Every structure is written in C-alpha cells, then in structure tokens.
C-alpha cells in the first residue's frame, strides 16, 4: 500500500486546511444570502428556509473536517497519527467521493464545473492520509 512521506502528508494537510477554510467562508456567504440559494445543493433547494437548514449542516460538517485536518497536522508533527484519525479521513474521503458523483449530476453548471474538481481533489487527498504513518527516523 502506498505510504506517503511526512512531507507529502504535511502538504496534503495544508491543502485540506486551505480548501476547508475557503469552503467554510463559502457556506457563510451562502447563509448570508450573498450566494443565491438556487445555485446551491445542485440547484435542488426549494426555499430559503431549506437553504438555511442544509447550509447550517454543511457549515458544521465543514468545520469538523477543518478541525480534523488541523488535528492530523498536529499529530503528524508529533510523529504519531492515531488510528481513529485515519478512520475519519477514510470517512471524509468517501463522503467527498460521493459528493463528486453528486456534483457531476447537478442541475447547475456552476456546481458541476466548479465543485466537481474541488471535491475530487479533497477525496484523493483524504484517501492519501488514511494509510498508517510510521515515523522513519534512520
């Protein structure tokens, strides 16, 4: 199984932290209605009330993913990445893989063209962080 180096894992964590931070800001803009709700959730939202519910959940989940990325980075710097953290990234990778498939069938072109590559990249990066990290100091 592929086992990326500490340097690659550190870069991957930094990319995730940047992407999840940007996504958090996007969800805040959506909740503030800077982004029209018709462009969110694949164009399938029926009302502003529905948007508030879905975007609140999205913001919470994204904040969890951001926190997990920061934790992973800290554990990596200590030379130990706990098993539960790797399970979280397997779960996050799976969620974003499914999200990528959902983005491909979105009603809005904006989501298909913009969100699909982002969710695919996040999924790939998350899966790269799942393998056991062994601090090889030789």
How far is Cα 119 from Cα 103, in angstroms, rounded to an integer? 8
Give pLDDT tens digits along the chain (138 positions).
578 888 999 999 999 999 999 999 999 999 999 988 888 887 788 899 999 999 999 999 999 999 999 999 999 888 888 899 999 999 999 999 999 998 888 887 877 888 899 999 999 999 999 988 766 554
Cα angle: 80, vertex 133, 123; to 5 degrees: 115
Domain count, the chain: 1
- The answer to whether residue 80 sits within a structural domain is yes
pTM for the whole thing?
0.85
How far is Cα 45 from Cα 4, in angstroms, rounded to an integer? 40
Domain that holds residue 88: 6-128
- The answer to whether residue 138 sits within a structural domain is no
How far is Cα 55 from Cα 75, in angstroms, rounded to an integer? 30
């Amino acid at each position: 199984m592929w086992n990326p180096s500490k340097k690659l894992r550190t870069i991957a964590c930094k990319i995730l932290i940047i992407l999840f931070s940007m996504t958090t800001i996007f969800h805040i803009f959506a909740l503030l209605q800077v982004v029209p709700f018709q462009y969110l959730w694949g164009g399938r939202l029926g009302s502003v009330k529905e948007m508030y519910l879905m975007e609140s959940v999205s913001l919470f989940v994204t904040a969890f993913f951001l926190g997990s990325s920061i934790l992973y980075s800290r554990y990596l710097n200590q030379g130990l990445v706990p098993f539960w953290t790797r399970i979280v990234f397997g779960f996050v990778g799976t969620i974003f893989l499914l999200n990528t498939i959902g983005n491909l069938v979105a009603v809005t072109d904006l989501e298909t063209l913009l969100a699909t590559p982002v969710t695919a990249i996040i999924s790939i990066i998350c899966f790269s962080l799942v393998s056991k990290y062994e601090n090889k100091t030789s």
